[in-house]
Each structure stands twice: as structure tokens, then as C-alpha cells.
Chain A
Amino acid sequence: MTPLEWEVVTLSLKVSLWATALSLPFGILTALVLARGNFPGKQLLNGIVHLPLILPPVVTGYLLLLTFGRRAPVGAWLEETFGLVLAFRWTGAALAAAIMAFPLMVRAIRLAIEAVDPRIEDAAATLGASRVMVFLTITLPLTLPGIIAGAILAFAKAMGEFGATITFVSNIPGETQTLPSAIYAALQVPGGEGAVIRLVILSVILAMGALLVSEWLARRVGHKAGRA
């Protein structure tokens, strides 16, 4: 691997890991609310969560720019309060990736929560467990395989995110140039096919690696849950 390729791979991993890790708690919470909640506006929330899946990614990227740009209301406030700049930074790439991957993550976790029998949670309540304890000791462990699946799916989606990322944070080598952006950039250069092939092979290796890790994790959790 050339130093440039190494930079692209580590940046892609950094962006995707942050995107997955930071969105996971929100993903679990949203999935829980959508699976078990019963409130007016639930369908609206469901629609908003799924929006990045159905909107053209360029539109999502542009909306991010409108909201989190340095002169946009939220962007300016974040910079003033926390010194956090998103536009044209790797942090923005992570945000774009997280938002694009969010619907997939929520969907996987929501299905897993819906598969947990509420009658088992009732049984835990009769044994004295409060709602929070029921969630932590029953619902969450039984949902763990789904949470892992959702996280891996989100990670894979973040690794491949292109449209929203390039619109929101552009394609700056060393700062926001992830694998797909780098492939796209190399394709623009005459005679860049060799570089493209190398990056494509790296993409395949990373994707397979993520899949293997998820299989291994799922099997471990499955063993623990006594369902292997």
C-alpha cells in the first residue's frame, strides 16, 4: 500500500467507526420508540428516519450543508459553543455517513426488538424488575444479535457512502477523501485505472472483513443466548 492509499483506508475506517459508534445509542433508542412506543406522530418519526434512504444522497448532502455549514444556524452554533466544525472536515464526513446509514441500523434493531416477546418482559416485571431493569437485563440482551447486525450494516453503508459525503464535505485528500471519493477522483485522472483497481481490491477486502467479524460476533452472542 502506498502512503496515500493507507491514508485513504485509515480515514475511511475512522469516519465509518465514528459514524457507527456515535449513532448506535440513538439507533437503539429510535428503534425502541418505533417498536414499542405508541404516540401520535410515530409515523412521522418513522418517515423522517427513513428519509435518507429514499432521498437522492445529493439532496441529503445539500440539506446537511444548509443545516451544518459554517454559516448555517446549527453549524455556526456548534462552532461557537463547542468549536466543532463539520463542513469540509472528516467530522462532517462521519455525520453524513451516520445519517445515511441510520435507517438501515434502526430497521435491523427494530426488527430484533419486535421479535422479543413482551410476555417475557411481563414475567420479569412480576419478579420485581423495574422498566429500566427489564430493558437492560431482558430486552437488550435478547436484541443483541440484531444490534450487532444493525451496527455492521451501518458500518458497511458508511464505508460506501459517496453522494451525501461529497456534497457536504467535498473530496479533500487527507481530510474528507474516503475510499469511494478516492476511487471517483482516480477515475477522473487519465491512466488512473491501476490506482482504481488497487482501491477497489482494498474495498472488497474491508467489506469481507466486516462481514467475517459480524458472523463471528453473532455466533458468540448466539452461544451466550443459548440458541447456537
Chain B
Amino acid sequence: MSLSVSLRHAFPGFTLDAAFDAPEGVTALFGKSGSGKTTVVNAVAGLLKPDAGTVTVNGRTLLETAQKLYVPTPQRRVGYVFQDARLFPHMSVAKNLAYGRWWGGAPSAKDTARITDLLGIDHLLDRAPLALSGGEIQRVAMGRALLARPDVLLLDEPLAALDAPRKAEILPYLERLRSEAEIPILYVSHSVAEVARLATTVIVLEDGKVVRTGPATDVLSDPTAVSQLGVRDAGAVIQARVLHHHDDGLSELETSAGRLFLPRVEAQIGATLRVRIQAQDVILSRTRPEGLSALNILPGTITSLLKGDGPGVLVQMASGDDQVLARVTRRSAQALELTEGATCYAVVKTVSVARADIGSDRAAQ
């Protein structure tokens, strides 16, 4: 199961020239607004006819401009969740969900129940779309796309129009979707936090061109990718398993590098989580620090240093099987004699890890 895309399309003042493969799982199409993300998704859905290109889903060719092959949108079997949801205002939620019956046949009651349960929308079926909250609207839109039984799921910034609490409400549903859906999911986003939580593969678009692709954990912990993702948002993702929930409101997690104490996480003991540790929240020390309030001290070896234009240095450190990214000043890097291969300790304050940066991991399901 995979999606293969190669496109060229010229707009006045902007040219898209991008090619990539999206394997099963969530492939994040990351980039600033205007980088061509939505154009790619629209071309995959057939809502835009590119100047040249090919689109293949699981070996089925949807677009091959060289052979003038152009499968019309209704026959493409793509589930598209739009940024603005686009529910049908004159139909109830139940009718919206059942709309995509044209190629898959009417969804069975069992399928419908499974999806509405997965997305937590079973109590909304009789409602009109106008009576729903923003988060509910997006969940119904996802259910509608899924119930059409698509070969590929396209999510175009489904959280962009929502405020932070609504985003937090939907992210767990997207995680469940990722583990349940057995189709490639193309997730368009300009938020590193969302990408870090959801993506298995990351494709970075810049001015209509693919500037980086790779597994999410690699791309996010690569200092050279930071300029493309945004320095403020830089941060590595590490895997952690829940060991214990303590009475003082903390959860103890095990990582390949050592123990991690985080604010209480809503996960069962034994569950695997992905935790994003922002580079600017990491303090580096050459010796194991003592008498420090920070609870999390991860030992490791520096694997690379990247000096930016400003006063900062990005330090990548191998810690166990994971990578940790730290942003320190050049002055500190010199004072501590940080070099490749040097032993180092990463100090992470428990409270600095935001709840939104902790999510469930695919491997755990």
C-alpha cells in the first residue's frame, strides 16, 4: 500500500515541481503556506489538473499526463478531509457519513458503528452540521471520508482552523486513525508539533520543491533540517514506554537512554508514547549534574553540531537508540568544549514538556 506522486505545474509566479513516495502510515507534507502543499493534494484528488505528472495509488494509476490518462475525481477513491470540512449543510450527520457510497457500496451498519465509535461521533448522528462544534465537524468530515472506503486518505490541515483546546481534542482521534487505517495517509501541515506527533514519514516542501524526505524521527532530529522546519520549533521525538504513574502527579517513562519523568500522561502502563522534546528546553552539561531540580538527565554522545547565523548552536546527541536535539548558545558550546564525540548530559525539565507534545505511538497498537 503506497502512494507515489510526481507533479509539475506552473502558476503565475510559482512553479510546483515535486516527486515523492508515501508509504503506509502517515506521511506529513510539511511546509510554509504557499509552498504548494494543497496543490499537491488537489492534484492527487483530481481537483487540479497539473501540467505534467503521475499519481499512483497501490499500483493503480490515477494520473499519467504523458499518456493523457486522467481518472476523474469521483473514480479516484481518495478520501479528502478539507481544512474547512465542507460538510453538506442540508444533510444530517448520519447522511453526511453515508454519502460516499458510490464506489464502495453503502457502508454496512457495522462499518458505520466502528468508524463513529473510533471518532467519538456516535451521539451526533441526528444533528445538523450547523449544530456541531469545530472539533466535531472535523471528526464527522474524517468519518465521511473514511466510510467511502478510500484507497488513500488526504488530510489538508484538518486542525488549522481550530483553537488549541479543539486541536488537543482531535489529536488522539488522529492517532487512532493512524493505527487503524490500513491505507497511506497524506497529512498536510505547517505545524511541527502535529508532524512530530503523527507522522511516520516527513516530506518538506519549500517553494514548490521537495527539499527533504525521510522517517519522521530522523528528519525531526536532524540539525540540518532545522532551518526548513523553523528553529523555534526544533525538537527531537523519542520513544518512551509508560512504567508507572506516581501519586505526585508524575508519570515515569522508560526510554532507551534512561528514565523520564513527565507530567501525568493519559496512557496505560506499558503503552508506548512518542515524546517531543523541544531543543530550546534542553540544557547540556559535560558532567552528570547534581543538586539540580530537573528530574530528567539523559546521558549521550554528541553526534553533530550546527552553527546557525545567530548566536545559537544546534547540538544533536545520541542517547541510547534515540536522538536528542539541544539548542545552546555558541558561547556555551565553546565554554563546554562541545565537539563531536564528546560525552554529554541532556537535562530536561519535567514541566517543560507540553502535554500536546506527548502522543501515542504506532508501534504500541
Contact = CB atoms under 8 A, between A and B. Distances in A.
A133 B45 contact: no
Interface stretch (A88-96, A117-125, A147-155): A117-125
A123 B79 CA distance: 9
A190 B82 CA distance: 71
Interface residue SS majority, chain A: helix
A133 B102 contact: yes
Interface stretch (B50-58, B86-94, B277-285): B86-94
A142 B89 CA distance: 8
Interface string A63-76: 00000000000000
Contacts of B130: 226-227
A129 B86 contact: no
Interface string A109-127: 0000000010110111111
B14 interface: no
Q: How large is the interface on B (under 10, 10 to 19, 20 to 34, 35 or more residues)?
A: 20 to 34
Contact of A123 (B86, B101, B128): B86
Contact of A141 (B90, B100, B129): B90
Contacts of B72: 125
Contacts of B104: 128
B102 A226 contact: no
A124 B47 contact: no
B148 A119 contact: no
Interface string B325-349: 0000000000000000000000000
B73 interface: yes
Interface in B32-72: 45-47, 72
B41 to A, nearest CB: 10
A225 interface: yes
B144 A127 contact: yes
Contact of B102 (A123, A129, A224): A129
A133 B100 CA distance: 11
A218 interface: no
Q: Among A122, A124, A127, A224, which residue has the most Cβ atoms of chain B within 10 A?
A: A127
A226 B86 contact: no
Contact of B129 (A122, A129, A133, A226): A226
Given A226-B128, A226-B130, A227-B130, A127 B148 contact: yes
A126 B88 contact: no
Interface of A: 117, 119-120, 122-130, 133, 137-138, 141-142, 224-227
Interface of B: 45-47, 72-80, 82, 84, 86, 88-90, 92, 99-104, 128-131, 144-145, 148
21 contacts: A117-B86, A120-B88, A123-B82, A123-B86, A124-B99, A125-B46, A125-B47, A125-B73, A126-B46, A126-B74, A126-B80, A127-B148, A128-B74, A128-B77, A128-B101, A128-B103, A128-B104, A137-B99, A141-B90, A226-B130, A226-B131
